[in-house]
Every structure is written in C-alpha cells, then in structure tokens.
Amino acid sequence: MRFEQTCTNFLLHHQEEHKRTYNFLILMDALISAAKHIEHYYLTGALQGNLGFAGNMNVQGEDVLRMDQIAQEITTHYLRASGRVIHAISEESDEIVLMNTEDGRYFVYFDPLDGSSNVPHSLPVGFMFGIAKRNLEGVEDGHLRAGRDYVASGMFVIPTGTFTLALKDAGTWRFHMDETMEFVRPTRVIFPEDTEWELSFNSANRYTFAEKVQNWIQQNESRYAFRYLGSLAADFHRLLSNGGMFMYPAIVSHPDPKKNRPQGKLRLMYEGAVVAFMCQEAGGAAVDEMGAPILDIQPEDPHQRTALYAGSKPLVDEIARVLSS
C-alpha cells in the first residue's frame, strides 16, 4: 500500500511552520469543497443536461452556461459559509459579492469556470482563484489588490482531479485527487529548463496581433512545440510541467475593428494575476502588452482585462524586451 500526504495535512504543517493562524485553512477547505462539488456536477453534466446555455449574458456580455451558474452558486455558498471572506469578485457577478464585511479576513477573486468553449464537450475547464488578505495593521478600505499582494493563488483543472496552489514565498505545489476525492501528494512544481518548450496561443488570431508580436512568432515559433486547449487553466497546467509560454496578446488589427481587444481578452484579477502569481512561485514570469509584470498592475475595475504572456522566465523576458521596445 502507498500512503499519501493530504493537501489539508500539508497546509496544516505549512501554517504551523510559519506560525500562522488557522483562518487560511478554513478558507482553503471552502475552496476545496467547492472544487469537489463543481467536479461532480461537471462529470455528470452531459447526462444531467447541464452543459448547455442558461439563457442569459454575464457582465462581459458573454452567453452564460448552466455550468457557469452552478459553479458560481457552489463557490459563493462555500466562501460565504467559511465566514473568512470580506468580499469576493467573480467573473459571473457584475457586482462585488459582499460576505463577512465586518470580521472577514480575506478577499477572494475567482473564475468559477474557465474555458467555456470546452464545456459542451466535457473537456477540461478550470476553477481559478486568487487570495489577498485584509490590512491587519490599520483600517481596511477594501481596495482591489494587485497580484503582488496576493497571499496565494491556484487552479483546479476540472474534471481531471488536479489542483495547483501557489503560496507566497513558499512555492507552487501540485496535488492529485485520490479514490476518496482527497487531494494528495504535494509535489513542488518549477518550470523545467531542459525540455522541449511549448507555445500556447490561439493561432487563428495571429494576424490580429501587434506587428512586433507577429514578427516574433514568425521568427521563433519553429523552435517550439505548439499546444492549445482553449482553457487558460488547462493550457497553463501543461506549461507548468513542460515549460514554454502561454500568450493571449492584445487584438489590435482585426479586419472587423469592432472585434479589436486592445486591452486583451483575459481578466486581470481572476485569470491573469492568478497565473502570474503561480508563475512567480514556480520560477517563471508573466507580463502584459507593454512587457510590464502582470503582478504590478494595480486594478481599477474588478473585471478589467489584460493581455497575458506567461511561462518560463527566459522566454517571457525575451518577449518582454520585444513588447517594451
């Protein structure tokens, strides 16, 4: 028999070692419970008829899927019940979701279901989150936190039973779900240096990118393998193991100018910064369209978008030089 350390046990020791409180454990327990329930609904989604549209649009003007709603309902329930969350920001809620505004300790920014185009096919999606802490020294004004101020970020890739968690100054760790639905076997993840790196971007968009980005792709892509699942969480999961770079550049020269996205497509607080934080703790880097670190962007809007170039540091540094030139 092989016995594995559970994620809960790993976190208990982590908190004890760093002389921290149990509040973070209660929050993590809520996130893990939510992920298990989302996993269950997703696995049974095709048979239960839960993989289609819900019939309305979200704050981003995108069609909401039934699974988006289910994942949102589950996550807000567990976060609220934890009593540890001041407020949450979710892709599926226009308004900031107020929770324990008096005594809560954390802010949670999340995308309950990332990679919607995979949903009708039961293919991998993500549940992504970033966590910041209240100002314990002085008055808390509830301002939106930059990625640099997150204390943890993570993603569950659903329904694959994998969980990746980055802890501030303590690394990026991966867990796998066992036969009892427990996340086990903490394994440190660091971007590899001596593997065949991969590029991951929507190649159909390449002629809509800035000219310098198009030129860089043309000159360099043959050095890399190419993989794209269409779900940031799942694509980034691969990259963490294999090395390389995920890109969602700004769309600036679309033949239909209405389809340009000069700010990028992905959302800063619950996609870009979540990935950037995991990158940093795994020895990688992440920058925006100006080549500036994603972690330094001070959000002005909960749902603000950003271009994203994230992955192995040498490659991200290389594109950052091109972007900032």
Using CB under 6 A, list all residues that contact ligand AHG. Answer: 91, 111, 114-117, 202, 230-232, 265
230 binds, among ligand AHG, Mn ion, none (CB under 5 to 8 A by kind): ligand AHG
Alpha carbon 88 to chain centroid, angstroms: 15
What is the nearest approach in angstroms of ligand AHG to the Cβ of residue 25? 28
Q: Which is nearer to ligand AHG, 9 or 253 (CB)?
A: 253
How far is CA 123 from each of CA 73, 106, 175, 247, rounded to the nearest angstrom?
A: 21, 32, 20, 21
Q: Say what angle helices 211-220 and 313-324 make with each other, to 10 degrees.
A: 140
Pick what 288 binds: Mn ion, ligand AHG, none; C-beta below 5 to 8 Å, kind-dependent: none
Phi/psi at 13 (nearest 5 deg)? -65, -40
Q: Which two tokens stand for residue 56?
A: 């309305």
Q: How far is the CB of 73 from ligand AHG (least distance, A)?
A: 16
In the complex with Mn ion, which residue's Cβ is closer, 114 or 289? 114
Tell which residue, 300, 253, 292, has the closest CA to residue 276. Answer: 292
* Residue 278 structure tokens: 């995991």
275 binds, among ligand AHG, Mn ion, none (CB under 5 to 8 A by kind): none
Structure tokens at 289: 């369209």
Which residue, 184 or 286, is less far from Mn ion as judged by CB? 286
The two three-digit tokens of residue 286, written as one number: 């992440």
Q: Return the number of the residue (114 or 281) whose C-beta is nearest Mn ion.
A: 114
Examine residue 289 and tell whether it contacts Mn ion (CB under 5 A).
no
Residue 69 touches which of ligand AHG, Mn ion, none (CB < 5 to 8 A by kind)? none
45, with CB counted inside 10 A (0-12, 13-18, 19+), is: buried
Residue 189 dihedral angles phi and psi, to the nearest 5°: -115, 130
**253, interface contact from ligand AHG, Mn ion, none, CB < 5-8 Å by kind:** none
- Give 7 or 108: the residue with its C-beta nearer to Mn ion: 108
Rounded to an integer, what distance in angstroms lies between the CA atom of residue 5 and that of residue 17? 16
Q: Does 91 bind Mn ion (CB under 5 A)?
A: yes
Q: Which is nearer to ligand AHG, 265 or 313 (CB)?
A: 265
Only segment of 73-81, 91-99, 255-263, 295-303 that touches Mn ion (CB under 5 A)? 91-99
Residue with smaller CB distance to Mn ion, 67 or 213 = 67
Site string for Mn ion, 95-114 (x = CB under 5 A): ----------------x-xx
Query: Taking the CA atoms of the chain, what radius of gyration do you get in angstroms?
Result: 19
Tell me which amino acid residue 249 is: P
Q: Which one of ligand AHG, Mn ion, none is in contact with 231 (Cβ closer than 5 to 8 A by kind)?
A: ligand AHG
Interstrand relation of 150-158 and 285-287 (parallel, antiparallel or unpaired): unpaired
Task: Please report, as ranges, the residues that interact with Mn ion according to CB under 5 A.
Answer: 91, 111, 113-114
